[in-house]
Structure 1
């Protein structure tokens, strides 16, 4: 039989994971000649009894990884994010889909969708009455985050904005739900042809479904902002809702939302599937960001007036506060003498959540139940689902602003007193600390000034400012021309996000 296509292995070092799932799948691919099977047939179906409890596989593991405990099947099948894919999957551009009946299909299909951090205003939302059974300052689980979104009116705001006829929101489905007889296509990343799935029974795990007069919203919830997500987490529940509506002879607009509660901000990214036969037909509708203010008057009502996103007094207060802050004369270094690379991080919520993660016990337990150093790249990749380059980007941003240092002898990252103060502060205090730290650096200071004055922040202008800021930095440590646009983008993005949290930056 001829080959359907040729697979080529290519994987950058920053995308590699040194974990048990990668080791396990290397054994499985070799044992079952999976690459050749996929090249010949277009896919390979593997059953759980062929995996890590198979006697021959156990012997191969013991031969290659003597003294290391063998992982369970469930720990090598957790692929909610592309960063969690084993190295051999990434290298050959392969992904895996459950078919039911303990069978999984491996093929070069596109399973993930990038989650973008949009420039949208942050809207304050307060509960209409005092809550005594849930501490809004310590929301640590997805169900509790959804409860906060429901109680404070965040969900009501989203529904009413999607359709003004929506005036009441109720929770309907959650948990495990069986869906039967589904058929759909997923795009092949190599030849762009659809791969068809015809599945008899699938058990969908649903975080939440909410409904209003004219609309339905499916929610997948997470407590950190990932680089991407597995589309099937939203698509399969969407097919289930379609079956239910057909049975009930009802018809409403159905949206799929990826809901993220970060340290301070509640983010809804709303999508629609334009073709229920095509899992890759996911299309962004809009993104909403909310905060929990100290001011209890920020209660949303459908009849209430639209809130002003840029109160002039707040703008003037921030400008006056910045003027009181002196610019650092020396470019920042760590205590071990190393010059801190100019920041390239662009998601404030990841930076704040990472500071929280760093300020914990020495060891970190991954989703595969492996223990790794909390301050290392593997912990960052496991927690945030970005590659190892991003680990350095976010560590540099925290170090540049003085929230993280490196031990003089070991070079180990440590959270500073300023970082701990930032981590423990409430939202208003945290914004003040961030403005104070940013205003000490010329590039961020000038960007804040221009945004507050509603002036355009051009790249040419920021290039000059950054060059001035780094004029005493040795040439080998300066920004290269190729990375300069990304560094400029980082400055703009982080400044905008801090001001958005303070309701003084509205891109619209």
Structure 2
């Protein structure tokens, strides 16, 4: 059971009302699936927002607990059932990187601040990554945006009985392609994500794949692009059987880093961060940070800078984490005076805005300086500077214990100390600490 992963979200409460009103679980038990329309969903909340679950952790608890998913079949129509709709993917990119120089004469594309899928794909194109990925000098961006699927049938595995399949028909449903590249020999469909998760919704690749496979006589190659703090990771997939949604498999992965974005902080940067930081009293009434991935906090800060605000539900859905983890990330930003809250909505503080607008390297130095305002963080940063390496779990626990022993158990202190040591390393050496 999910133990209420997302039950407090508004979207979950609305789906509970829908499941009750239309007896969805019993209908699935009797018929193997349930067809629902946008009009029915719109009775409670806009269907477009109620059906966007790009990651498993974004799913409402009713879906997650019952191993069911939702897929579009026609314009204004969806099918709900026990479908194996997601593909797991390793978050660890490995340690093999290809380094590329971004052309310095390009002034209109800010590759330092990747906050959208389109910017990510444009940077990959301009720098020549896509030429290397496709092994050709002729790699041209072609179609993108919204379009219809056309008509096709496919089969998909049952999540409860792995040997069983469901047959699904799609007719002129809407799809969206983030980007694509055509070469003389193949057509590459790109689904781009400005964050890292350990799974993704196969539909984002499969529906465009089927649409274009029905139209052109070149191989259609699905590519899942993840961007993380300067690293572009391309996962190239194939479908073993083009009529089987669940036959997807990973063929190849490649990592690219722009030489211009290699920004491992040196001792001078760390010293500068420490010197520019005045000690402040630890915040009261806010839990000590427990979000494992500090770069995700930075990504949320960038999202708010572009979109003005975000809710806990928004973090859960956009960044593929369950509701409790979303709260951890927002609280981390709150603790560090990057975010402020108003009626459960997070916006940037003046300090958050100031940092969000800096170049990538300066951002990291200022965030390290922000951590150093609190003695609990500062002792670990100073230890990192003295030793030139990440502190061991034992060292981190020993250094942090004096600041947390009055509030937390030894087990909690052990976990929090590892979190902070990891944060510091992600800021100093982030190109190599991706998972």
Same structural fold, with TM-score higher than 0.5 when normalized by the shorter chain? yes
Q: Which has the larger radius of gyration?
A: 1
Aligned positions of 1:476-495 closer than 5 A: 476-478=407-409, 480=411, 484=414, 488=418, 491-492=421-422, 495=425
| Residues in 2 aligned to 1:133 and 1:342: alpha-carbon distance in whole angstroms | 37
Aligned positions of 1:316-465 closer than 5 A: 318-322=266-270, 325=274, 333-334=282-283, 337-338=284-285, 340-346=287-293, 348=295, 350-357=296-303, 364=309, 374=310, 376-398=311-333, 402-404=336-338, 418-436=351-369, 441-444=378-381, 446=383, 461-465=392-396
Deviations 1:347-367 (A, max 9, x none): 51x2112223456898x4xxx
Aligned positions of 1:282-321 closer than 5 A: 282-283=249-250, 285-291=252-258, 293=260, 318-321=266-269
| Residues in 2 aligned to 1:354 and 1:266: alpha-carbon distance in whole angstroms | 17
Does the residue aligned with 2:45 lie in a helix, a strand or coil? coil
Q: Does residue 209 in structure 1 map to residue 174 in structure 2? A: no
Does the residue aligned with 1:477 lie in a helix, a strand or coil? coil
Q: 2:161 corresponds to which residue?
A: 191
Q: 2:397 corresponds to which residue?
A: 466
Task: Pick the aligned partner of 1:15 from 6, 13, 19.
Answer: 6
The farther-off stretch of 274-283 and 412-421 is: 412-421
What is the deviation of 1:338?
Answer: 3.8
What is the deviation of 1:398?
Answer: 3.8
| Residues in 1 aligned to 2:108 and 2:275: alpha-carbon distance in whole angstroms | 44
Q: 1:92 corresponds to which residue?
A: 66
Task: Pick the aligned partner of 1:33 from 2, 15, 23.
Answer: 23
Q: 1:104 corresponds to which residue?
A: 78
| Residues in 2 aligned to 1:217 and 1:199: alpha-carbon distance in whole angstroms | 24
| Residues in 2 aligned to 1:274 and 1:382: alpha-carbon distance in whole angstroms | 27
The farther-off stretch of 113-122 and 424-433 is: 113-122
CA contact (8 A) 2:5 2:322 kept: yes
TM-score (norm 1): 0.67
| Residues in 2 aligned to 1:414 and 1:78: alpha-carbon distance in whole angstroms | 23
Task: Pick the aligned partner of 2:209 from 197, 220, 238.
Answer: 238
Unpaired runs of 5+ residues, structure 2, are none
| Residues in 1 aligned to 2:250 and 2:420: alpha-carbon distance in whole angstroms | 26
Q: 1:273 corresponds to which residue?
A: 238
CA contact (8 A) 1:94 1:109 kept: yes
| Residues in 2 aligned to 1:108 and 1:80: alpha-carbon distance in whole angstroms | 16
Q: 1:305 corresponds to which residue?
A: none
CA distance 1:436–1:32, shift in 2 (3 Å): closer
CA contact (8 A) 1:344 1:394 kept: yes
What is the deviation of 1:323?
Answer: 5.4
CA distance 1:22–1:257, shift in 2 (3 Å): same
CA contact (8 A) 1:438 1:445 kept: no
Does the residue aligned with 1:283 lie in a helix, a strand or coil? strand
* Aligned-residue CA RMSD (Å): 4.3
| Residues in 1 aligned to 2:226 and 2:73: alpha-carbon distance in whole angstroms | 28
TM-score (norm 2): 0.77
CA distance 1:197–1:419, shift in 2 (3 Å): same
Deviations 1:207-246 (A, max 9, x none): 222134665432013445566431111122233454456x
Deviations 1:410-461 (A, max 9, x none): 99977556544321211221233345456753445545776x56xxx68xx3
Q: How many residue pairs get matched?
A: 424
What is the deviation of 1:196?
Answer: 2.5
Q: 2:35 corresponds to which residue?
A: 45
| Residues in 2 aligned to 1:76 and 1:212: alpha-carbon distance in whole angstroms | 37
Unpaired runs of 5+ residues, structure 1, are 1-9, 59-69, 161-165, 295-308, 365-373
Does the residue aligned with 1:28 lie in a helix, a strand or coil? helix
Task: Pick the aligned partner of 2:223 from 257, 261, 265.
Answer: 257
